């Protein structure tokens, strides 16, 4: 066989999987279909049902070029895992891959046979009806079968409490300082962050902190806020939600400061409490910097 890899795209009801299975048995080479999604979901730490929903959306995003601009971190992660798996399987040896955008992923390979399987409309209707026709959810409009919405995979929103979202301003502005303008700015300027994952998690952090600095608890503005790593990245990036924190610019500068004069000036302006001092020294410790001896500086608040 000149083409050691075969990719199969198919129309709904054209029996693409069944043809791939028969071909796999005749050629004695492995077939990959939904099991490839299982592997990608496992590597992406996603539940299989949720991964299946994201998988259905990926091809539409590619076609509309939306995927390249998408801030959907989970879709991005799943797509990259599926792409890597397909490339690895192609290098491993002869195989058949059904769906999963494999023809697109392997578009530059010369040893790949790309097949599209379809059938006349009524033939596909007959196959679909044979498989699902007993369902009472099916409907027909002018001879065309309408796939019931009940067949669409979705996630049940478990344990959702029926109350006002806790991030909405239902208390005073002193307790909740979230600004719509700040949120809008962060969403529209996601490209300013090194990764989309960091941009997405920075927004989540801002909301979780109710629009306030994690150390001073003062309200933050667009010009006076910084998203930093709790544990600095050494080598591989760690832009996860748990490793990010939103601070005011002055606090961020103090955490990384080593010049005593600069530290003294920042402390005079900040007026920190004992609890705030402890938080700052913990963050400095993660950066392998010496703890600030606050008693050596005048003007700090106790």
The model's pTM is 0.44
- Give the model's pLDDT for residue 131: 74
User: Is residue 173 predicted with pLDDT exceeding 60?
Assistant: no
Q: Give rounded-to-5 percent helix, strand, coil for the chain.
A: 50, 10, 40
In terms of DSSP bridges, do strands 5-10 and 95-98 run parallel, antiparallel, or are they unpaired?
A: parallel
Confidence class for position 171, pLDDT limits 50, 70, 90: very low
- Give the model's pLDDT for residue 143: 62
- Give the model's pLDDT for residue 136: 65
- Give the model's pLDDT for residue 129: 75
User: Is residue 227 predicted with pLDDT exceeding 90?
Assistant: yes
| Enclosing H/E stretch for 146 | strand 144-146
Residue with tokens 């007993």: 134
Confidence class for position 86, pLDDT limits 50, 70, 90: confident
User: How many C-beta atoms lie closer than 10 Å to residue 164's C-beta?
Assistant: 9
Mean pLDDT, the chain, rounded, equals: 78
- Give the model's pLDDT for residue 2: 56
Which range has highest mean pLDDT (13-22, 60-69, 132-141)?
Answer: 13-22
- Sign for the CA dihedral angle at 184, 190, 196, 201 comes to negative
Residue 5 phi, psi dihedral angles, 5° rounding: -125, 135
As a whole number, mean pLDDT of residues 258-280 equals: 87
- Give the model's pLDDT for residue 170: 44
Q: How far apart are CA 79 and CA 295, in angstroms?
A: 53
Residue 140 phi, psi dihedral angles, 5° rounding: -125, 135
- Give the model's pLDDT for residue 67: 42
Q: How far apart are CA 204 and CA 223, in angstroms?
A: 18
């Amino acid at each position: 066989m000149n083409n050691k890899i075969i990719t199969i795209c198919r129309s709904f009801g054209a029996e693409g999987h069944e043809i791939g299975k028969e071909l796999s048995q005749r050629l004695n080479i492995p077939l990959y279909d939904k099991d490839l999604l299982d592997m990608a979901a496992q590597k992406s730490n996603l539940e299989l049902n949720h991964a299946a929903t994201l998988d259905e959306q990926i091809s539409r995003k590619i076609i509309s070029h939306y995927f390249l601009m998408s801030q959907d971190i989970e879709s991005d992660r799943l797509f990259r895992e599926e792409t890597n798996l397909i490339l690895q399987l192609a290098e491993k040896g002869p195989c058949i891959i059904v769906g999963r955008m494999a023809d697109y992923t392997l578009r530059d390979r010369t040893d790949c046979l790309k097949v599209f399987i379809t059938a006349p409309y009524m033939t596909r209707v007959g196959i679909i009806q044979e498989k699902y026709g007993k369902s009472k959810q099916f409907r027909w409009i002018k001879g065309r079968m309408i796939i019931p919405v009940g067949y669409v995979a979705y996630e049940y929103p478990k344990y959702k409490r029926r109350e006002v979202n806790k991030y909405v301003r239902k208390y005073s502005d002193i307790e909740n300082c979230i600004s719509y303008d700040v949120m809008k700015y962060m969403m529209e300027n996601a490209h300013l962050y090194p990764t989309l994952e960091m941009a997405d998690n920075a927004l989540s952090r801002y909301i979780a902190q109710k629009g306030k600095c994690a150390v001073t608890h003062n309200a933050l503005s667009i010009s006076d806020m910084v998203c930093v790593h709790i544990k600095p990245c050494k080598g591989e990036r760690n832009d996860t939600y748990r490793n990010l924190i939103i601070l005011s610019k002055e606090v961020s500068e103090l955490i990384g400061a080593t010049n005593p004069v600069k530290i003294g000036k920042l402390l005079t302006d900040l007026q920190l409490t004992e609890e705030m001092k402890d938080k700052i020294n913990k963050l400095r410790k993660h950066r392998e910097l010496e703890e600030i001896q606050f008693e050596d500086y005048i003007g700090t608040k106790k």
